[in-house]
Amino acid sequence: MNGASMPPPGRLRAGVLLSRVMSRCALEPRPPGKRWLVAGLGNPGLPGTRHSVGMAVLGQLAQRLGVAETWARDRRCAADVALASLGDAQLVLLRPRRLMNANGRSVARAVELFGLTAEEVYLVHDELDKPLGKLALKLGGSARGHNGVRSCISCLNSNAMPRLRVGIGRPIHADAVQAYVLGCFSPAEQELLPPLLERATDLLLDHIRKRSGGPLLGP
């Protein structure tokens, strides 16, 4: 017996199921506007950092939609993926496994696999120019200096993606920005995170329901 570890049976089954579902989704026709991709931008392996707050929102979103235990790695797009239903719509939740500066490669590959357009992709990311606790939904436009968004715009050749900007605040000194975004939330900030993630999830789901033509009430 070699020293390689096997993934837990539940995760292995989830991965096989997800691969089959993704293959079927990529091939089957679908009503336009009824499938959405929601990507949480960040750095893999750095949970709890300000720069990866988009991934934290995706975790809360998966929990709300009852798919938190179904995340599975998809090597084709180098990301963790979970599929969820929202009324008649299907949500593809995606957390890239590439670094922030290359998140767009994972997002663009998933867009290709699921037959989506840039307008059907939501990007969730941190925002230095908003204080912690503030949220804003931006419908397309420039990257505003965010490297993950810039990567997505470049790889999708479009800036039409809606973005949920999650405020993390900005440090006083400009030369401290890199250490600040890659650092973890302080204990005081961590107390603000649970309601912030809940509100971010509400905002996303309401916007997606509205665009899907469904009622605003739901999970």
Tens of pLDDT along 106-146? 999 999 999 999 999 999 999 999 999 999 999 999 999 99
Measured in whole angstroms, how far is the alpha carbon of residue 131 from the centre of its chain? 20
**pLDDT tens track, the chain, 219 positions:** 444 444 555 555 555 555 555 554 544 445 454 899 999 999 999 989 999 999 999 999 999 999 999 999 999 999 999 999 999 999 999 999 999 999 999 999 999 999 999 999 999 999 999 999 999 999 999 999 999 999 999 999 999 999 999 999 999 998 999 999 999 999 999 999 999 999 999 999 999 999 998 666 556
pTM of the model: 0.85
Separation of alpha carbons 94 and 106, rounded Å: 9
DSSP H/E element including 37: strand 35-40
Q: Are 116 and 155 in contact (CB under 8 A)?
A: no
Residues with catalytic function: 51
Backbone angles phi, psi at 64, to 5 degrees: -65, -35
Separation of alpha carbons 7 and 75, rounded Å: 15
Separation of alpha carbons 17 and 147, rounded Å: 33
